[in-house]
Chain A
Amino acid sequence: MQHANKSSVLNLGLTVFLFLVVLTGLEFFIAAVVGSALLLTLTALLKAGMVLYFYMHSNHLLTDETDIERDSYLYILGTNRLGLWLFLLSDSFVFGGLMVARFNLLGPTRPELNQILGLAVTAVLLVSSFFMNRAEVSMEYGDRKGFLIGTSATLLLGFLFLAGVVGVEWRLAMHEGLTPSSGVAGAIFYMMTGMHAFHVLTGVFFLAIILSNGLRGKYTAERHWGVEAAAVYWHFVDVVWIFFYPALYLIGSAG
């Protein structure tokens, strides 16, 4: 990545983002017209694969580091990366368990939810991932201003997502009679969105931390593990939503 020039890397991020937008639109279309759970699953897998490779740099884990000094920053950076990915692997079992619970309890039905709002919060999270990628790439090329703008935008969109899900979506659902204790559909809906929102909230905390440290100039092009970690975590939370969105809003018949 270091050898490529900055604008081409940013353009790659933009291209990936546009692909994700098109695929999300496609999902919405598939759900409305075909209603095929298989196609929806495949689309979600494709989206998740793109985020994992292009935004979360899963290939960094395979870097050959046999010749690097053990005490060097680069080697420790590699160890940190591995640690973070192991954590994400572990965390994905929570979300996997929730998906199992959802399909075991609700089967081919889904809760009655506001489709427009669902698409809107999904879009917000998607755009936030785009800005997160910009912020990280900017830092990698020592562009502090680009980093600060990108991180601030991600932070704001993160808040907007939380407000959309917890503030608006939950309130609407309660108004419609879908409460945590109204039945198993409500229970699953609040548990899944709540668990995800909790992770978004922790991501927002990380973003606030790297923003405040970035404002004080703590990161450089060579040393910005904090930024990378927050970015990878943020994209991971996005990947979770890539699967939760169709599971809650698109797959199966409502009610």
Chain B
Amino acid sequence: MKKFFSLGLVKGLVYQIIWTAIGAAFVTLIRWILVSRFGFEMKLFAFDRNNVFFTEPAWVVGGVFGVIAFMVGVGAVNDWVKWALGLETPAHPQDEPGWRGYFGPSVDHKVIGIQYTLTSLLLMSIGGAFALVFRTELTRSGLQFLDPNLYNTLMSLHGILMIVSILLGIAGAMNYLVPLLVGAPDMAFPRLNSFSFWIAVPAAVLLLSSLALGGFDTGWTGYPPLSVRAPLGMQMFFLGVFVAGWSSILGALNLIATVLRMRARGMTAFRMPIFVWTAMATSLISLTATQLIGLSFQLVMFERLLGMGFFNPAQGGNPILFQHLFWFYSHPAVYVFVLPGLGIISELLPVFVRKPLFGYKWVAMSSFGIALVGFLVWAHHMFASGMNEYLRVPFMYSTLLVAVPTGVKFFSWVATLWQGKIRTPTPMLFILAGIFVFLLGGLTGPPNATVSTDLHLHDTYFIVGHFHDTMFGGYIFPFFAAIYYWFPKATGRRLNETLGKLHFWLMTPAFIVLSLWMMRVGLLGMRRRIADYDAAMGFDLSHLIMTIAAYVIALSVLIFFVNLIISIRKGREATGNLWQSRSPEWQVPSPMPAHNYPEPIEIVGRPYDYGLEGSVYVKVGK
């Protein structure tokens, strides 16, 4: 029992709960003094939309206390505190041995990568379960078992949990892979790396706590004025996203420093793997733009707490300003989600086709092209919002421009596949499906980017289908491909192929049916984000099909988890270069030891020259 409570994670959670209560009690005490001594009129305790026992300010301050306490409890700030006090710390901290190391503040980038990935899978499951609940509710017209507020809360939490889970998933992949791919012993700032991971955990707790604290009904976008009036859960949502944003920002900072400073000898910019290029592009967006979603959410938090009328027209505020600040992050964020996935596609495709990646330089630069253009398109989410009309057309064209660098990637993939010796183990299947589904998502983009059609499609299920296609094609499929591909690197065993193929052949058709039907009902007029629809619209059958498809996807992911658990213990051993890759991490036995390569590696050629006789990419060892 004592051993259980000494785990960093458990200790952190206990600290978070206790200090949230202490913080809230502290604010209540101050309010009590203000009331009893100075005659202020304010509530101490109450039960209504914005006060679940404690008042709203008490909960917010308690939430902040709780996050700090979690970080202290888990031990992620120990070394920094020691440095501030002028104490020395060991240069290479040791993890606790065995599985316990995964529950504490490890500084090994591979452990942190796996921590990120597992947390991401957990949040994805929770978010997916929420989707199943409200998908079940939508099977028939009429309200079955959810009341509208709970429906809205689940729908909103599904959105934000999936987003946080994707952010953690790409952080996991980048953390695990980038130091290996560039030949570094670890990330540039190992302690900051640990901090970036652990701060995402209290953020997830805050997000989930909104369920118990009245929920919120705005969707993940949190637009005021609705979010100013929403129940208390709204504040926990804002605070949770704000804290999760720090995870993203600091992780990106670390990654950029790692790539710029710790590449192996001989690894010039145009010898870097494509995944490293995409990770850099993604990190530049996360590093800078994330601050603006944090700011916009903070402004609403203060509007709720102190009556600061940033977005309240009655006080001279402007609700459209929120949307500009919010989308300045939240649109580039979708490139944060998909760029690493597209990088994985480009990384794996040549391995399974045994041909050089077509147009390497163009593919490398296209990621930065997407990132840069991505900064200039945010207002295409606001065509129907009442913003200045002259902004519409420029944003329409900048949005359509994204198709150019994305098209470069597609041409490269198709040309790489052309006349290749294609092998199709599970990772390659997921890559191929990823390309196809992302194409669906890409082709349904221009109708949304074009003002005249968007005014009709805005806020319909067509949009829902479009972005699920981009997220699945750009993230989910490549992410699963990456897990099937690099699982042997991490564990020395490989995932079961039969179960893997079952996972694939259940998930892919089910997902394609789901997203196409979403677009179908959307075109016919089904609004998004609503708990119910009129039976006379004739959508019942379509929704039944979508619900069944959703359950098939859930079943396939369940099979994946079973595969994970079985294979980690009994999977076939695979310690060598399982996929005949040229990448440095596969030239040494799996699993990798701490601090990676025993000898510094040297890059002597181009990364993707598969099938070219006598070409060498990397020299490992002497």
Given the complex of chains A and B, what is the CA–CA distance between A181 and B309 in angstroms? Answer: 6
Count of A-B residue pairs with CB < 8 Å: 101
Q: Are B306 and A86 in touch, CB under 8 angstroms?
A: no
B419 within 8 A of A: no
Does A83 lie within 8 Å of B253, measured CB to CB?
yes
Q: Known contacts A89-B288, A216-B86; can you find 9 more A-B pairs with CB under 8 A?
A: A83-B192, A86-B253, A90-B288, A93-B291, A104-B318, A181-B309, A185-B316, A190-B308, A212-B86
- Name the B residues within 8 Å of A209 (CB-CB): 84
A105: chain B residues within 8 A (beta carbon): 310, 316-318, 321
The CB with the most chain A CB atoms within 10 A, among B249, B299, B308, B316, is that of B308
Q: Write the chain B residue with the least CB distance to A214.
A: B86
By DSSP majority rule, is chain B's interface helix, strand, loop, or mixed?
Answer: helix
Q: How far is the CA of A147 from the CA of B63 in the complex (A)?
A: 39
Q: Which residues of A contact B303 (CB under 8 A)?
A: 187
User: A97 within 8 Å of B by Cβ?
Assistant: yes
User: Assuming A180-B306, A187-B308, A191-B299, is B292 touching A97 (CB within 8 A)?
Assistant: yes
| Cβ < 8 Å to B, chain A residues 63-115 | 70, 75, 78-79, 82-83, 86-87, 89-91, 93-94, 97-98, 100-101, 104-105
For residue B262, CB closer than 8 A to chain A, the reply is: yes
| A83-B188 contact given A78-B261, A98-B295, A209-B84, CB 8 Å threshold | yes
A183–B316 contact, CB under 8 A? yes
- In the assembled complex, A218 has its CB within 8 A of some CB on chain B: yes
- In the complex, residue of chain A having the shortest beta-carbon distance to the beta carbon of B254: A83
> What residue of chain B has the Cβ atom nearest to residue A78's Cβ?
B261
Q: Which residues of chain A come closer than 8 Å to B188, judged between CB atoms?
A: 79, 83
Specify which chain A residues have a CB less than 8 angstroms from the CB of B261 in the assembled complex.
Answer: 75, 78-79, 82
- Contact check: which of A75, A79, A226 meets B257 at CB < 8 Å? A79
Query: CB < 8 Å: which of A75, A89, A187 contacts B310?
Result: A187
Instruction: Give CA–CA (A71, B139) in the complex, Å.
Output: 61
The answer on a CB contact under 8 Å between A93 and B309 is no
Interface assignment of B128: CB less than 8 Å from any CB of chain A: no
- Contact partner of A94 among B192, B291, B310, CB < 8 A? B291
Complex: A191 Cα to B499 Cα, angstroms = 55
User: B316 and A184: CB pair below 8 A?
Assistant: yes
Picked from B257, B289, B306, the residue with its CB within 8 Å of the CB of A83 is: B257
**How far is B359's CA from A136's CA once the two chains are assembled, in angstroms?**
49
If over half of A's interface residues share one DSSP class (helix, strand or loop), that class is named, otherwise mixed; here it is helix
Interface residue tally for chain B (C-beta within 8 Å)? 39
CB within 8 A of B315: which of A82, A90, A100, A184?
A184
CA distance A83 to B310 in the complex (A): 33
Q: Is A11 an interface residue (CB 8 A)?
A: no
Give B residues with C-beta under 8 Å from A. Answer: 83-84, 86, 188-189, 192, 249, 253-254, 256-257, 260-262, 287-292, 294-296, 299, 302-303, 306-310, 315-318, 321, 324-325, 328
Q: Given the complex of chains A and B, what is the CA–CA distance between A212 and B84 in angstroms? A: 9
A203 within 8 A of B: no
In whole Å, how far is B359's beta carbon from the nearest beta carbon of chain A? 29
Whether A87 and B253, one on each chain, are in contact in the complex, defined by CB atoms closer than 8 angstroms, is yes
**What residues of A have a CB within 8 angstroms of the CB of B306 in the complex?**
180-181
Contacts of B302 in A (CB 8 A): 180, 187, 191
Q: Is there contact, CB below 8 Å, between B308 and A86?
A: no
Interface residues on A, range: 35 or more
- With a cutoff of 8 Å between Cβ atoms, the chain A residues found around residue B287 in the complex are 86, 89-90
Q: A79-B188, A184-B316 are in contact. Are A93 and B289 (CB under 8 A)?
A: yes
Contact call A183/B315, Cβ cutoff below 8 A: yes
Quick check: A187 and B317 within 8 Å, CB to CB?
A: yes
Closest A residue to B316 using CB positions: A184
Shortest CB-to-CB span from A86 to chain B, Å, is: 5
Q: Does A253 sit within 8 A of B, measured CB to CB? A: no
Q: Would you list which residues of chain A between 178 and 224 have a CB under 8 Å from chain B?
A: 180-181, 183-188, 190-191, 209, 212-213, 216, 218
Nearest B residue to A209, CB-CB: B84
Selected from B84, B249, B257, B321, the residue in CB contact (under 8 A) with A101 is B321
A94 vs B292: C-alpha distance when bound (angstroms): 6
CB distance from B205 to the nearest CB of A (A): 24
Instruction: Report Cα–Cα, A180/B302, bound state, in Å.
Output: 9
Cα-based distance from A98 to B211 in the complex (angstroms): 31
A187-B315, A216-B86 in contact; A180/B308 too (CB < 8 A)? yes
With a cutoff of 8 Å between Cβ atoms, the chain A residues found around residue B310 in the complex are: 101, 105, 184, 187-188, 191
A97, B295: Cβ atoms under 8 Å? yes
Chain A residues whose CB sits within 8 angstroms of the CB of B192 once the complex forms: 83
Of the residues B260, B262, B290, B309, contact of A184 by C-beta under 8 Å: B309
Q: Which residues of A contact B296 (CB under 8 A)?
A: 97
Within 8 Å CB of A86, what residues of B?
253, 256-257, 287
Q: Are B295 and A180 in contact (CB under 8 A)?
A: no
What are 29 pairs between A and B in contact, CB < 8 Å? Answer: A70-B262, A78-B261, A79-B188, A86-B256, A86-B257, A86-B287, A90-B287, A93-B289, A94-B292, A97-B291, A97-B292, A97-B296, A97-B328, A98-B295, A101-B299, A104-B324, A105-B316, A180-B302, A180-B307, A181-B307, A181-B315, A183-B309, A184-B315, A184-B317, A186-B308, A187-B302, A191-B302, A191-B310, A209-B84
